[in-house]
Amino acid sequence: MSLPEFAAFRANRLPAMISEAGALAGKTILVTGGSMGIGFACATACRAAGANVVLAARGAAVLAESAARLAQLKGSGYVETVAGDVGEEADVEEFFARAIARFDRCDGVIHAAGVMGPVGSITDVDSNAWLETIRINLFGTFLITRVAARHMRAAGGGRIVLFSGGGASTPFPDHTAYACSKVAVVRFTETVAKELAPLVEINCLGPGLVATRLALDAQSSAEKLRGAVSPEVGASAALFLVSDAAKGITGRFVAAQYDDYRSWKSRGVPLDDGDLFTLRRVVPRDRNLDWQ
C-alpha cells in the first residue's frame, strides 16, 4: 500500500477527537513512544487538553521533528523532549529528571513505547529478537512504572497509563514475543495497582488494531486491517485515564474501542477491587456448569 493509499485508509477510520479542553490544565504528562503513531496521538490530545508534554523516544532526529509539529498544533501547554531507551534504567531516570527540571512536576505518564518484535513460528524466529521484545515491552514497562511511582508518591500522587495490545486477551499466532509481553503488562498493571494504591492509580489500555504503518507492515495487507481504528481512539481513552476524571479507576484492562469507560463511575461499577475488566481464568461455574 502506498503512503497516499494508507492516508486515505486511515482517514476513513478517523473519529472526531473527543474534546477535553482544560482537562489537564497545569499538569505535566510524560509520553513515551511520543514521536509517532499512537504515542504522538496521545501527546497531541494531552497538549490540546492543556498539559505540558514531555515526549520521550529513541530517535533524537524524529523526536525533534515531532516536537516541532506538536508545538504548532492546538494547545496551551509547552513541549519538552528527551531521547532514550525505555529498557535502560539510566535513560528512564533521565526522562523524569528532564520533566521535573523543566516543569517542576510529573503528574501523569502515558507509556506508549513498544515494538512488534519478530514475526513467525516459534520454531523459526530469532531468539535474540524475541528476548529484545520482552526487554523493551515488558522490562521497559517495569522501569517506567517504578520510576514514575517513586516520583508520584513523593509528590502526593499521580496517574499512569500503560499499553497492552494484540495477544493480551486472545492468542496471537506468529507474534509470540509481542503477545507474551503485552499480556504480562496487563497482569503487571493489576498487581502494581494494589501496591501503589491509593496515591498512584494505574490502568492498562488496549487500543485495538491501530491503523499505523507498523500495523500495516505486520498485517501485510489492508484487507487484514479491515477492523482497524485510528490512533485517536486510544489517545482519547489515554487522555481520560490520565486525567482527574478517572480518579478511582485503577488496575483495569480497558478496551478503548469497546468499553464505555466514561460511564463506569456513574454506573457505580466497583473498580478499586473485584474482577471486572481484568484478566481471569474461566472455570466451570462461569459457563453454568455444576462441577468443580
Which residues form the catalytic set? 178
User: CA 194 → CA 73, 145, 206, 208, 255, distances in Å?
Assistant: 37, 13, 20, 26, 21
240 Cβ partners below 8 Å, 6+ apart?
Answer: 20, 246, 261, 262
**Please, are residues 172 and 119 in contact by the beta-carbon 8 Å criterion?**
no
In the Cβ-directed half-sphere of 253, how many Cα atoms lie within 13 Å?
23
Q: Hey, what's the cell of 33?
A: 513512544
Residue 133's CB is within 10 A of a number of other CB atoms, namely 24
In whole angstroms, what is the distance from residue 59 CA to residue 53 CA? 17
Q: DSSP labels for 107-163?
A: -EEEE--------S-TTTS-HHHHHHHHIIIIIHHHHHHHHHHHHHHHHT-EEEEEE
